[in-house]
A = this chain, B = another copy of it.
Amino acid sequence: MTLSDYLAARRRDIDAALDRLLPPETTSPEIIHRAMRYSVFAGGKRLRPILCMEAARAVADQTPDLERVACSLELVHTYSLIHDDLPALDDDDFRRGRPSCHKQFGEAMAILAGDALLTLAFQVLSEAEAVPLDRRARVVGELAYAAGTVEGMIAGQVRDLEGEGQPPTADLLERIHRAKTGALLAASARMGAIAAGASEAQLEALTRYGRHVGLAFQIVDDLLDVEQPSAELGKTAGKDARQGKITFPAVYGLAESHRMAEEEAARAGEALEGMDERAARLRELAEFVVRRTR
């Protein structure tokens, strides 16, 4: 099966699982469940759940059912997009080619829908019966840390906001992105590995893999914002520059940013050198992240 077919099949699995785990739109109060589903089912790539599941497959022939662990990552990712798009933060009216959550449902409901997805992520994890209790407690901690304020997503978001209009330095750029997108992508690989019972060496390799993939992903994200028209990007293009965001193209230029993305993908592959053929999809995924066009 080609990687593209494989990813499409995995996406369908994840979408079906998310559909089972989210309250139906008919559950009262309906408006909040509509808002949550609107943003979750907006056509995401499901990269984090796929990374999680592939990391588990890379270390174990038989993995426990990881549907809930994988979906918790997508729920947290979606919450972060909804809150990032709010007028008080990045103020983006479009996301994945549609009005962003607050444009569709109003600001109050978008704030609550984000809160609700974050909350649901932990509920879904706590009830992941297939995952042994000790590993379950660990993945809850991993998710919270990766989403948090010390080295996690919120730390990155705060640094990003503080950095607007500041001189774009390589150091600040790295500190923003290691936390803002890197932490959750690394946690995706780590949580899958932990839930599948990875050894310390495997966990360490997959963490390095996740970090490099995360950085490659972010560089490409910044490049797409510059190089793609809004219609294909599904969100407002060129926005980073107008907001004075510190991006890879702003610090390193386009050509060097492209080279860096390739290098990070290569390093991600190198991190897997000690692992066997079960890590083949992860190797392909690292290349896919650099080739993507949205």
Chain A residues in the interface with B (C-beta under 8 A): 23, 27-29, 31-33, 36, 79, 83, 86, 88-89, 106-109, 111-112, 114-116, 118-120, 122-123, 125-127, 133-134, 136-138, 140-141, 143-145, 147-150, 152, 154-155, 157-159, 161-162
Between A79, A106, A120, the greatest number of chain B beta carbons within 10 A of the residue's beta carbon is seen for: A120
**CB-CB under 8 A for A111 and B89, given A118-B119, A123-B144:** yes
Which residues of the partner chain B approach A127 to less than 8 Å between Cβ atoms? 137, 141
User: How far, in angstroms, from A166 to B123 measured CA to CA in the complex?
Assistant: 32
Which residues of the partner chain B approach A145 to less than 8 Å between Cβ atoms? 123
CB distance from A155 to the nearest CB of B (A): 6
Which residues of the partner chain B approach A118 to less than 8 Å between Cβ atoms? 115, 118-119
Q: A122 touches which one: B83, B108, B122, B161 (CB < 8 A)?
A: B122
Which residues of the partner chain B approach A116 to less than 8 Å between Cβ atoms? 148-149, 154
User: How far, in angstroms, from A18 to B149 measured CA to CA in the complex?
Assistant: 16
B137 touches A134 (CB 8 A): no
User: How far, in angstroms, from A150 to B119 measured CA to CA in the complex?
Assistant: 12
Could you show 23 A-B contacts with beta carbons less than 8 Å apart?
A23-B149, A29-B158, A79-B115, A83-B111, A86-B111, A88-B107, A88-B111, A108-B161, A109-B158, A112-B154, A116-B148, A118-B119, A119-B147, A119-B154, A122-B140, A125-B140, A126-B137, A126-B138, A126-B141, A127-B141, A133-B134, A137-B137, A140-B140
A interface, by DSSP: helix, strand, loop or mixed?
Answer: helix
CB distance from A131 to the nearest CB of B (A): 10
Which residues of the partner chain B approach A137 to less than 8 Å between Cβ atoms? 126-127, 133, 136-137
**CB-CB under 8 A for A33 and B149, given A108-B88, A114-B115:** yes
B106 touches A126 (CB 8 A): no
**CB-CB under 8 A for A144 and B119, given A29-B158, A88-B108:** yes
User: How far, in angstroms, from A154 to B112 measured CA to CA in the complex?
Assistant: 7
CB distance from A144 to the nearest CB of B (A): 3
Q: What residue in chain B is nearest A148 (Cβ atoms)? A: B119
